[in-house]
Amino acid sequence: MQPLSSWPKRSGIVGVLTDIDDTLTTEGSITEEALRALHDLSNHDLRVIPITGRPVGWSEPFALAWPVDAIVAENGAVALVQRPEGALKKLHQQDAATRTANFVRMQEVLKQIERRVPGASRATDSGGRECDIAIDHSEFTQMPQTDIDRCVALMQAAGMNATVSSIHINGWYGTHNKLEGARWIVRELFGRDLDAEIDRWVYVGDSTNDQLMFKHFPHSVGVANIARFVPQLTHLPRYVTQGERGAGFAEVARAILAGR
C-alpha cells in the first residue's frame, strides 16, 4: 500500500463507492467530518454509493439522510434509492421466490452455527436482513480468529458465500457480492458500464470483505485501520490514508476534490 499522498491521478473521477462500518463510521456512528465529506462530494457532482454488508432494514435511515445516490446493502443483494418525492425504492438482484427459498435455508445454517460454535450469536441487526445472515464477531462481542474461521467454514460447507467484515461474518446464497452489486447499481441508476470506466471510480474500504474491490479498482484506498486485517488480505488496496475510519474517508474526499 502506498500513502494516499502519492496518488498520482485524481482528475476525471466521477464517483466514489465506499464501505460503511469503520470506513464512513467511527465507533458505530458517522462523524461530522465524514458527513461533511459526503456533502462535499455530492455538491461537486460526484456519484456516491455506499456498499455494505449491513442489512437493508438498518440502511434505510441512512439512505434517507445522507447525500448519496443509493445504498447497496447485504453485500450487493439489495439497493435503496431515494425517489424524487422522498420515499425509498427498494431494488433486489434476486426474485421474490428465490429470496424466500434462500431465507429458509439460511436460517437453518444460522441455527447450526449457533449450536456448533461456542459463543457464536447472530448479529443484533439480523431482523432487518432479507438476503443474508450475519454472526457478530466484533460489534458487541469479541470472537477469536479460530471461531471466525469455523463460522466461515460452516457457511461454505452449506454451499454459501461467506465473507468477514470489520464487525460481522456474512453468509448468503447467490452470485452477488460487493463488486457485482456495484456493477448492477451503476448500470441500473446511470445506464453506465462500471468496468468500461473503472479508472474513473474510487473504492474506499477497511477489511477483508473489501478485497475483491481492492483487487478490481485501480483507485482503491484503505483507511488506516485496515492495518488490523492486512495479514488476512490476499489483495491490498493501492493506497492507504493517514486517518482511521471516518477521518480517513474525509481524507480521500479532500484528495479527490483537490485533483478536480
pLDDT per position as a tens digit, 19-51: 999 999 999 999 999 999 999 999 999 999 999
Q: What are the respective helix, strand and coil percentages of the chain, to the nearest 5?
A: 45, 20, 35
Distances (CA, A) of 251 to 23, 69, 135, 171: 11, 21, 31, 31
Q: What are phi and psi of 231, to 5 degrees?
A: -60, -20
What cell does 152 get? 466461515
Q: Rounded to an integer, what distance in angstroms lies between the CA atom of residue 88 and that of residue 68?
A: 12
Distance CA 241, CA 248 (A): 5
User: What is the pLDDT, as a whole number, of residue 11?
Assistant: 84
Residue 104 is placed in which grid cell? 429458509
Which conformational region is residue 155 in: left (phi greater than 0), alpha (psi within -120 to 50 degrees), or beta? alpha
Q: Could you tell me what percent of the chain has a pLDDT over 70? A: 100
Residue 188 has pLDDT above 80, yes or no: yes
Q: What is the mean pLDDT of residues 192-208?
A: 97
Q: State the Cα–Cα distance between residues 78 and 59, nearest whole angstrom.
A: 10
Left, alpha or beta for 241 (phi > 0: left; psi -120 to 50: alpha)?
Answer: beta
101-141 pLDDT tens trace: 999 999 999 999 999 999 999 999 999 999 999 999 999 99
Residue with cell 445454517: 109
pTM over 0.85, yes/no? yes
